[in-house]
A and B are shown apart, each in its own frame.
Chain A
Amino acid sequence: MTKSVCIAVLLLAGTLSGQRTSHSTQAPHAVRGTASAPSVAALPRYRFENFTTANGLPDDHVFSVLVDGPRVWAGTENGLAEYENGQWKTFTTADGLAHRAVLSLALDSRTGDVWAGTMGGLSRISGGRIDTYTQLNSGLSSDVVYGVSVEGENVWIATAAGACRLNTRTGEWSLYTERNTPMEEIWAYGVSAAADKVYYAIWGSGLLEYNQKTRVWDKYDDPDGENEIVLLKDQGLIHEIVTSVSYVDGVVWAATYFGASHYDGRYWRNFLTKDSGLPSNFLNFVKGVDRNRAWFCTDKGLAYYDGINWAVYRPDLDTGKPEMTVRDAQGRVTVIPVTTAPAHNYILAVALAGSDIWVATAKGLSHGIYQP
């Protein structure tokens, strides 16, 4: 698919998705294997505390967020911010950061090191020291790093020129492009790595899967091809323009600019605004909690799916007032009175911190403090 066609269709879809749906008559499918149906009342509620440049953030435009125990990392358009003990500290290019715009973040859970994908290379922040890898000083395929994920001794990277893997023990870089994978476009937007499989979200080329054991690549495409009409809804990936992927508990959650997908290795289950609680089909990011639950970051708010019910958190699109809505299995939408909301409805990323959440938005970073 050519990018120009995709973008044109994307704009159209964005316009269509702007038509708000307050009630849907089509019940969502129950996720296979769900033991008991969660209730709407159990959907989490939060008090949001928002951070902007007014209270320590280096920039309001927050691309990425990562939580590691008491530390919170925010990748902004103007540096990497670290929040700990109520204080913000910012790392910039003067500290060795590859570029001021930090697009993606990943934690090496074994060491506590943070990997930051930027518009100018990949940086590792370790004990305050920053080591930077670029397309000139290392084997990195492109300096534009959209996604990063750490699994064992390997760092998996999604770049504007394909996928990469850095083996931190040997220093070997392996590049994966259209030449050695089924990737048709090389615009890799997101990556999620686990011990058994690694998934890449490819902008315009579906979902790429790497089997760590067999070392074989596989590819999942939209069975409707390049049509923007969903003819075969749960027969495969919802769309070729995949922006984010989250692999957890053997299940793939995929976000696209035209809906979201859930794949358990056998069955696909797709989500669109017309038949789910998604506030928009335009998704920037997805974060799976487990096989059944996930968070979706859209251009019209943050959505949570518990396997049956949906909740949406955002400032009202017209008034800007805090809003929380829930949608049950029958498609009934209920407005929950709330006094706080994420800093903006354009959501770029979410990170989980126990019962709390941290939300990256186009106008600040939000801490969702769980309200029992």
Chain B
Amino acid sequence: MKSRGSRLASIGVWALGACVAAAGFAAWPAALAPPEERYASPLELLLSPNGTRLYVLCQGTGEVRVLNAATGRVLSTIPVGREPRGFSFSPGGARLFVVNSWDDTVTVIDTENNRAVATWKTGYEPSSVVEDRAGKLVYIADRIGNDVAVLNAATGAEEATLPAGRGASYLTLAADGSKLYATHIYPNPTPHRTPPRSEITVIDPAHARVIERLPLPSIAGVFHAAVSRDGRLGVVAELHPKNLVPMAHVEHGGVLGNTLTVFGPDVGRTVEVPLDEMDRYYALPFGVAIALDKSRIYVTHAGADCVTVVDTRRLIAWIRAHPEPFAEDLSASGHYVVARITVGKNPRGLVLSRDGSRLYVANRLDDTISVIDTRAARVVQTIRLAGPAKVSALRRGEQTFYTAKYAFQGQFGCSSCHIDSTFDGLQWDLEPDGFGKDIVDNRLLEDLRGTEPFKWNGGNPSIAVECGPRTEKYFWRSQTFDDRTLTDLVLYIRHLPLRPNRWLAANGELSPAQERGRAIFNRSVDKLGQPIPDHNRCAYCHSGSKGTSQKSFDVGTGKATDNSSVFDTPQLMNIALTAPYLHDGSAETLEEIWTVYNPHDQHGRTNDLTKDELNDLIEYLRTR
């Protein structure tokens, strides 16, 4: 085991290396932007055990701000790592753990003096953290790792990694500490063109074992979970995509549902219930909290700028009185939703005061905290966090990206499918191509400059076209962007940065396998000594620093349902993250691109390769 000193030193070197690697990025992450442009972007909230201090996780500035919970006055500011995404207290509140998703680290803060006392290395893109009740183990959900890492609470040494759902991101510990619930934002792999599947991973935190996986059928995109104090009722916020049918029925709610799944002894099973209404949708349910007396469930809607209040008693009564399924019964929510409280822009994390009289909500995109009187069900105070006075064009673009207000009845926004500005792991049947035609895999939005044109058929020459007329025509069905809004949105999307590549060493050096793979990628002669035609070389189509020639080719992957078998060459950056592959997502893994879908060497000359050589090629691709 490394000493703390050497561990910190290695982290320092690693971070420096990551910065060097980042030099080629299209944009710096928010936390590294010039100070005058750094918005706090509050993402998650905690109250100190005595309820007097409000801890605010500021994703944009990379810090934790400690506020007087009553007045909102800043008591302390604690710098943490890049793109912090989750935090939690140790059982007694003596330590605060913060996970830094771009650094793959945990910052350990002594809450007595509000200073960082340790930095631990963890898995790929840590997004949530919880310590067990015994104070022995720290659990961390790793979004890219698709796992829950188990760290020794005293040393930070990793003891195990538990396989979780794909895109593991949020952890919730039962009040008695007996169970830990993990949720994930991307669906688990399923056969092509079958309904998505997700899960609630239930962990025994005392023994670091997965004891159950509660199935979430037809769900893709699961966010926070909450469990009642008595442990008898659990709830998760989630998305219910309808991606197997043509996106032709926006007016009938045929694109995305915004739902909860409730579980636990109070309901006896897992039950999905809608949050939307007949003529109004509440996009991107994100944070959830259950009142101490279990009378209410509170849900933030990151795309609808509001908090939904559910009457728990009515909800359970309704569930018991109606046979399933009713996830798509938009009349249902009227029976148990008792309030919709408007808050700030892009509300995310929320926390209830100890007595349950106040609900604090972090509004990520306007740097405010809404304080809700839970009895009156209205905002009684808005705490403004320090930051730039001016709302920049970039910031306005981000607000546009996350709101669902432009879509018909507020059904969805850009971020409903590009979750946290990435992708959703799904394939969609977009209407204009014809019903059942041109099924397309959703692509990652990172470092897009220089990857034009867009769409799999290469039909859109720029982001402005992609997000302008195209979007207005058949996505929103309603309000269009004005020129400034579109310009801001394009600016934001063009500046979405490339996250650090976890498979490339900090110093940029390739491993022997990656080096062998690079040689295969760049080769011009096959193993039989025959020249490989230009168009059949990996590096010809996937050329340049981003791995795309920006041209379209027929690589033999067209299907009978495709209008054309000529496809845009996708960029390769962070390709390891974006399974499934090919234009329609038919290749479950990178391997299948060549083991299944390249029988005639049209997608590069690969059939002369042995299995280990193919593995080498993939190892190299994952460094791109």
Expressed in whole angstroms, the minimum distance between the Cβ of A19 and any Cβ of chain B is 44
Contact B145 A169, beta carbon cutoff 8 Å: yes
Is the C-beta of B429 less than 8 angstroms from some C-beta in chain A?
A: no
Q: Is the CB of A111 within 8 A of B513?
A: no
Known contacts A111-B160, A111-B163, A169-B161; is-contact A139 B210 (Cβ 8 Å)? no
Say yes or no for B202: interface residue by CB 8 A criterion: yes
Separation in Å of the A201 CB from the closest CB of chain B?
A: 21
User: Which listed residue (A129, A131, A141, A153) contacts B612, Cβ 8 A?
Assistant: A141
Nearest chain A CB to B142 CB, angstrom units: 10
How far, in angstroms, from A175 to B202 measured CA to CA in the complex? 34
Chain B residues with a Cβ closer than 8 Å to the other chain, count: 36
Task: Give every chain A residue within 8 A of B588 (Cβ-Cβ).
Answer: 137
> Is B595 an interface residue, CB under 8 A from the partner?
yes
Contact B591 A129 (CB under 8 A): no
B161 touching A111, Cβ below 8 Å: yes
Q: In the complex the two chains form, what is the Cα distance from A175 to B612 in whole Å?
A: 6
Question: B209 and A172: CB pair below 8 A?
Answer: no
In the bound assembly, the distance between CA atoms of A139 and B614 in angstroms comes to 8
CA distance A169 to B591 in the complex (A): 18
Contact with A along B600-624 (1 / 0, CB 8 A): 0000000000011011001100100
With beta carbons under 8 angstroms apart, the residue of A128, A137, A179 that contacts B213 is A128
Is the pair A138, B611 in contact by a Cβ cutoff of 8 Å? no
Residues of B contacting A129 in the complex (Cβ-Cβ under 8 angstroms):
163, 188, 199, 213
Taken together as a complex, chains A and B put the C-alpha atoms of A127 and B211 apart, in Å, by: 5
Tell me, in angstroms, the Cα distance from A135 to B614 when the chains sit together. Answer: 11
A136-B596, A172-B513 in contact; A126/B163 too (CB < 8 A)?
Answer: yes
Q: Which interface residue of A111, A112, A180 has the most chain B CB atoms within 10 A? A: A111
Chain A residues closer than 8 Å to B339, beta-carbon distance: none
Within 8 A of A (CB), among B566-586: 576
- Interface residues in A138-182 (C-beta closer than 8 Å to B): 138-139, 141, 153, 161, 168-175, 177, 179-180
A113: Cβ under 8 A from any B Cβ: yes
For A172, the chain B residues whose CB sits under 8 A away are 513, 615, 619
Q: Does A327 contact B (CB under 8 A)?
A: no
Chain A CB within 8 A of B589 CB: yes
> Is A61 in the interface zone, CB < 8 Å from B?
no
Q: Is A110 a contact of B612 with CB atoms below 8 Å?
A: no
Tell which of B150, B163, B212, B595 touches A124, judged by Cβ atoms closer than 8 Å: B163
A136 B591 Cβ-Cβ under 8 A:
yes
A141 CA / B615 CA spacing, docked (Å): 10
The reply to whether A153 and B213 contact each other, CB–CB distance below 8 Å, is no
Residues of A contacting B159 with CB < 8 Å? Answer: 110
Q: Indicate with 1 or 0, residue by residue over B440-467, a CB within 8 angstroms of chain A CB atoms.
A: 0000000000000000000000000000
Within 8 A of A (CB), among B206-236: 207-213
Question: In the complex, which residues of chain B have a beta carbon less than 8 angstroms from the beta carbon of A112?
Answer: 207, 209-210
> How far does the alpha carbon of A128 sit from the alpha carbon of B209 in the complex, in Å?
12
- Smallest CB-CB separation from A142: which chain B residue? B611
The answer to whether B123 has its CB under 8 Å from any CB of chain A is: yes
Once the chains are docked, how many angstroms separate the CA of A136 from the CA of B614? 11
Contact between B163 and A137 (Cβ–Cβ < 8 Å)? no
Interface readout for B130-163 with A: 1 if CB under 8 Å, 0 if not?
0000000000000001000010000000011111
What chain B residues lie within 8 Å of A139 (beta carbons)? 591, 611, 614-615, 618
- Chain B residues lying within 8 Å of A168, measured Cβ to Cβ, are 161
Question: Contact: B612 with A138, CB < 8 Å?
Answer: no
B212 and A128 contact, CB distance less than 8 A: yes
Q: Which residues on B are within 8 Å of A, measured CB to CB? A: 123, 145, 150, 159-163, 188, 199, 201-202, 207-213, 502-503, 513, 576, 588-589, 591-592, 595-596, 611-612, 614-615, 618-619, 622
Chosen A-B contacts, 7 in total, with CB atoms closer than 8 Å, are A111-B210, A112-B207, A127-B211, A129-B188, A138-B589, A170-B502, A175-B612
